[in-house]
Structure 1
Amino acid sequence: MKRMLRNIALLACIGTLSACGFQLRGLVTPLSQSAPLSFTTLRVAKAGSLDAALQTALRRDGRIRFEDVQGNTDAVLNIVAEEDRKDVLGVSLAGDVNEYMLIYSVSATIQRLQDEVPLPLTVTLRRTMSYSDSVTLGKEREEALLRADMRKEAAEQLVRRLGYLPAASKAKADAGKQP
């Protein structure tokens, strides 16, 4: 009886997850892909510390052909600025730091052939990290891993946002409205 109830609960969970469109990261099927992009080739200019993560995310996407050399491409992604901050989030009664907030921001622009003005893209990620003076080396390693994960996630978000760029005619109309 317990086994049957457990199986029914498991099937209900699987059914609920599949009904909401859940899929594991990295598993892309033709039905789950976003709409086609307005460009097919992309060159990344000035990627900085995001270079490796961006190349991986672009190659994984499958809709974009990534060009790493200067040439004729349909769009150019330019990383304008990266900001890596570490703010104090919590302090103990003794005045020691308990927790930090790691903040990573990336500002980029995408220049398509049909656009007169580059379109801005911004990604900001935040992670909390507990801290203790007794395990300093371990916390330094944890911080480095969190920062690497944040860079990877920022690159993936930038690539996902490329699929939601406005159409070229709308981008030109919006650029003409701005003073």
Structure 2
Amino acid sequence: MKRLLRNIALLACIGTLTACGFQLRGMGTSLSQSAPLSFSSLRIAKAGSLQEALETALRRDGRIQFDNIKGNADAVLTIIAEQNRKDVLGVSLAGDVNEYMLVYSVTATIQRLQDDAPLPLNITLRRTMSYSDSVTLGKEREEELLREDMRKEAASQLVRRLAYLPAPGSKLDAGKQP
């Protein structure tokens, strides 16, 4: 009897989530995934540490064919700069740091081959991280994981912003940042 009630409650929860339109990221179709892009193939230039995350995000999106070999891509995404910062966010009464703000910034440009001027893309992500001298090794690993997560999120945001590029020759195309 308990098993039956548990199964009914589980089905009710699942039914409620699907009724409200909930979807896991990257699953199914959403408005941003079905929106057509103003180009069909993309080459990534100078991606640095963002290369793997960008390739994964582009494969997951599925609307763009990407080619890292200098070929006939419709657009070129160039990562100009990546910056990692670690700012002090909180200090204890004794003067010890107890919280940091991790900041990851990416400056990129996207240039379609039929356009003259590249369009700038800027992304800045922030994460807070508590800190304690007693667990230094654990906090170093936590910082590495947070930075990796920020790289993946920046790559996903870059791919999502590509969908909002105006069509070539449109009036919005001149000097506007997506």
1:49-104, CA deviations, whole angstroms, 9 ceiling, x for partnerless residues?
10111111111111001101011110000001111000001110000001000000
Show the counterpart of 2:159. Answer: 159
* Contact persistence 1:34–1:163 (CA under 8 A): no
Which sections of structure 2, spanning at least 5 residues, go unmatched? none
In structure 1, C-alpha distance between the alignment counterparts of 2:76 and 2:171, rounded to whole Å: 16
The yes-or-no answer on 1:104 pairing with 2:104 is: yes
Backbone CA RMSD of aligned residues: 2.6
Unpaired segments ≥5 residues, structure 1: none
Q: Give the Å deviation of 1:34.
A: 2.9
User: Whole-Å Cα distance in 2 between the matches of residues 126 and 30 of structure 1?
Assistant: 26
Residues 1:69 and 2:69 are matched in the alignment: yes
- After superposition, the Cα gap between the structure-2 partners of 1:167 and 1:7, relative to the gap in structure 1 and judged at 3 Å, is same
SS for the counterpart of 1:169 is coil
Q: 1:173 to 1:42 in 2, by over 3 A?
A: closer
Correspondences of 1:1-179 after superposition (within 5 Å): 11=12, 14=14, 17-29=17-29, 33-170=33-170, 174-175=174-175
Write the letter of the residue equivalent to 2:108.
A
Letter of the 1:174 counterpart: A
| One-letter amino acid of the structure 1 residue matched with residue 167 of structure 2 | A
Task: Give the TM-score taking structure 1 as reference length.
Answer: 0.86
Determine helix, strand or coil for the equivalent of 2:33. coil
SS in 2 for 1:150: helix
SS state of the match for residue 88, structure 2? strand
Taking structure 1 as reference, are residues 169 and 17 closer, same or farther at Cα in structure 2, changes over 3 Å only? farther
Identity of aligned residues (%): 74
Whether contact under 8 Å (2:32, 2:160) holds in the other structure is no
Query: 1:166, CA displacement in angstroms?
Result: 1.6
Q: CA deviation at 1:124?
A: 0.9
Partners of 2:169 and 2:16 lie apart in 1 by: 40
TM-score of the superposed pair, with normalisation by structure 2: 0.86
Distance 1:115 1:167 in 2: 10
